[in-house]
Structure 1
Amino acid sequence: MDVISVTLADRYPEIFHLVCDNLGFVDLINLSMTCMNLFGLVDAREIMDKRGCLKEAMREIDRQEHPDNKLACYTCTRMLPKSSFSYGQCRDKFASRKGRRQTDNMTRICVHCAIETKFYQHLEPVRFRGEQHFLCHECGFFERGLERCRKMFVPEGDSGRFEVEVTVCYDDLPDPCESLSPLEALPRMPIQNIVWYLDYKEGLNLSMVSKWMYHVVKPAEFVPIHERYLFTNKVFLNRDPAPWRPHVNYDFPSRRKLPCFVCFRVRDKKHFSRRQIIMAHNDMDGYWRMRCNSCLYKLYIERDAKLLTRYYMYQKCETCLCLKIKGKSCICCAEWIFTGMLDDPSKPGPRPWEDFHVGSYDPWRGKSFLTDANWPLK
């Protein structure tokens, strides 16, 4: 086949180009994939671009149903998986109206092309792979979170009455062996061991010392579970209802802070669904299952295995009512025994109130799944 294709292209180039001019986009791709020689001779995109119908040919391919559910980028004219597009550009092209409109108008663009053409607004949030990303037009950096590039307002003129918006781009993380303090120069494992003996607030303060420590120290993972729980539990116990509607247990001011017991962050009310707030108030023993919308997305949409395993290992201690790891002794009770605050560790404390639901229904998630009928989950 290689000899025939080379002979046809070398001896009869006019016939070869005439054959290529009468083939469609899919046939040209199949012809180029026949052998290595034709793969270098036949450029399907270049031929269709000379005809002026490359995007129309991509649209016809995009309208077909693919087994791997790929989408077409009409800037680089490639079929890419959904993970290469932002949330607004990866809508279902058959069930979603916006997805069909993107296919008909040939406006879908992948993240790589959007960064090169500055398709996204300057430092505006873009949802990509379940997280907020920001594109900086100054340095062209596409990052997760506003850590490298930030907007600042600088006074203009001598009077300082007018402010001008400027963008400040910080350098990348320094090398671990250059210009770091002795504590920052340590390997990550000793730093994790140091954080293990700190409480949650001290771990947060240590992570805010420098940019390097912010990426190395993870208080939500390294600090003991009971310290994380006690820190976020204070916020929930000290909550206040809305003064204008005190009888509604989920009605809070919009800027009221609520805790998430998965990422152990204190966030605004807008980051929590109404179901989570209502269940936390109705079930005073299981409010430690309260989760923000971001953690719910990671747990049940992205199926983050590490986060799911860590979440299902949590269990309420019956003695001190703190969180502990299933199958392990409670660290908080061990500290009480060491300080003498707990005289009889074998004597069980008050058993927390339990609620049993029919079937395998988890009201915190709002969907049915195959688990035991009792709740909390064991």
Structure 2
Amino acid sequence: MSKSPCTKLSFTFLGHFEAFLILSSTPPGIPCCLIATNFDHLLEHIISMASNIHLPEPKVEAAQPEAAMCHVDAAKLKEEQTHSTGPPVRTFPFGQLSYDLQYEVLRFCDYPTATLLTSTNRHFYEALHPKIEYAIPASERLEVIQRVDRDHRNEFWACYKCLKVFPRSKFGDSLTAAKKSRQQRAHTQTFRKSRRCWTCAIENNYYADLEPVKKDRVSYFPCHGCGFLGTEFNRCRGNRASGIIVNRQCHKDKEFSPLELLSGEILRLIIGQLDYLDAIHLRIASCSMMHQVKLDWVAIHRRFTFVFAREAPLVELVYREIFEGVDESLGPESREMLGKTYTYPCYSCFKVKPAAKFLDKTLQFIGEEPDRFWRRRCRHCCTIAAGEPGILDEWYRRHLCSDCGLMKAKGEACLGCLKTSGARESMHAITKMSRSSNDKR
């Protein structure tokens, strides 16, 4: 390398990291800048910044006692201590460098080190993270994510569009075949570099137009016309003729009622004040309401009251006449099929289902302990709760109120008692007002 006419500048960073700004000229007469970095000290400092170890505070000389100060200095010291809002904010020398120097350091880091540097704090993440794709060559990033993608021992997949690594939740179900089983689809996607994350796939129309695609076991229908991604009850529609969508009806062009245009938070407050049957009717009013309204938003004591009216002792009055009218010549199979039509309410999802939807062990337990009928769960709820600890914990928190007999959550106020007490107070106020008016007359 020819000698540069420019000077050689050096500065020290925390006594460990030294960066030299060498000005050289590759073509004659055109100077260019190059950072020569001691990467061992840089990596050591980045790790120390990202760790939870607090750096030692600077030594502060012992303050002069107020007794030995004059009254003016003592008043100033007391005022400073009073207006102090917290510990002083410390800044790192590397963060105080100009943005150009930070970017040059980022260019000389490999992909894992650059990712570690940008994840150190918010300043580096906001300033340098968007520039990784410009600082690190695409070939180097591709080589790194391929090593991660080919390792079947971890549950991370590579997106070959944005060249990043994401967990399973960031991909569609069709693009996250299990690596441990080495399925042909997963091997083909890695070999052909055809895997796309959910965001890249939707933005670049990777999936077919208005065709269902699953993510987290929920079917979505992407629209290439307006870019809307909707579910079965709230999506764009159209007719397919020779592989082309005709008569497209996009979601943005649809006219919605004022109730459908409400936000989810406001709609949830409205549903919370309705009865369970009213929420069911509102949910089946339109496809949009079917997608927006959740029956779990209804108060738990109202859901319990609705399904409790369908409990076995009440339904048994009807089915007893049916069983008495059955010919005794029917075989056991016919009687078993007739018994499967017997309905029971599930107090987990608050739905009334036939006996075939419940485990025999569950029905036997309720038959032996009828006082615990409210612990009955259908087969589907038992299967979901087995894989979701949060759902199981929520189920164990439910019990019957000792005052009103309705269902409530443990640690929360009984909404049934509050409603009853509120009605009593209203009736008492109305009675008191009527008596006072009669006395005036």
1:244 and 1:152 map into 2 onto residues whose CA distance is 50
Q: Residues 344 and 354 of structure 2 are in contact (CA less than 8 Å); yes or no, is this contact kept in structure 1? A: yes
Q: Residues 268 and 297 of structure 2 are in contact (CA less than 8 Å); yes or no, is this contact kept in structure 1? A: no
Determine whether 1:91 maps to 2:174. Answer: no
SS of 1:118's partner is coil
Correspondence for 1:134: 221
- 1:126, distance to aligned residue in structure 2 (A): 3.3
2:25 and 2:273 map into 1 onto residues whose CA distance is 75
- 1:325, distance to aligned residue in structure 2 (A): 3.3
The one-letter amino acid paired with 1:204 is: I
Correspondence for 1:161: none
Q: Residues 258 and 268 of structure 1 are in contact (CA less than 8 Å); yes or no, is this contact kept in structure 2? A: yes
- Within-5 A mapping of 1:169-248: 169-171=250-252, 180=258, 192=269, 198-206=274-282, 218-222=294-298, 224-232=299-307, 237=312, 245-246=333-334
2:419 and 2:380 map into 1 onto residues whose CA distance is 34
1:40 and 1:74 map into 2 onto residues whose CA distance is 13
User: Could you say which structure has the greater relative contact order, defined with CA pairs below 8 angstroms and 6 or more residues apart?
Assistant: 1
- 1:70, distance to aligned residue in structure 2 (A): 2.4
Give the one of 36, 40, 44 matched to 2:137: 44
1:187 and 1:135 map into 2 onto residues whose CA distance is 22
Correspondence for 1:62: 149
Which protein shows a greater Rg? 2
- 1:86, distance to aligned residue in structure 2 (A): 1.8
- Count the aligned residue pairs: 295
**What do the CA deviations read for 1:270-313 (whole angstroms, capped 9, x no partner)?**
xx9x7x5444433335575425748954x554655xx5554332
- 1:201, distance to aligned residue in structure 2 (A): 0.6
Query: What root-mean-square deviation, in Å, do the aligned CA atoms of Structure 1 and Structure 2 show?
Result: 5.8
Determine whether 1:113 maps to 2:189. Answer: no
2:213 and 2:311 map into 1 onto residues whose CA distance is 31
- 1:27, distance to aligned residue in structure 2 (A): 8.3
TM-score (norm 1): 0.53
Correspondence for 1:314: 398
Q: Residues 94 and 100 of structure 1 are in contact (CA less than 8 Å); yes or no, is this contact kept in structure 2? A: no
2:146 and 2:251 map into 1 onto residues whose CA distance is 41
- 1:180, distance to aligned residue in structure 2 (A): 4.0
- Structure 2 residue runs without a partner (length 5+): 1-17, 36-107, 119-127, 320-330, 367-371, 425-441
Classify 1:319/1:141 alpha carbon distance in 2 versus 1 (closer, same or farther; 3 Å).
Answer: same
- Within-5 A mapping of 1:1-378: 3-4=20-21, 7=24, 29=111, 42-45=135-138, 47=139, 58-64=145-151, 69-98=155-184, 100-101=186-187, 102-129=189-216, 131-150=218-237, 166-171=247-252, 180=258, 192=269, 198-206=274-282, 218-222=294-298, 224-232=299-307, 237=312, 245-246=333-334, 261-265=347-351, 276-284=358-366, 285-286=372-373, 288-291=375-378, 293=380, 297=384, 299=385, 301=387, 304=390, 310-316=394-400, 323-326=407-410, 331=416
**What do the CA deviations read for 1:99-139 (whole angstroms, capped 9, x no partner)?**
75243453432112221343334444433245443323332
TM-score (norm 2): 0.47
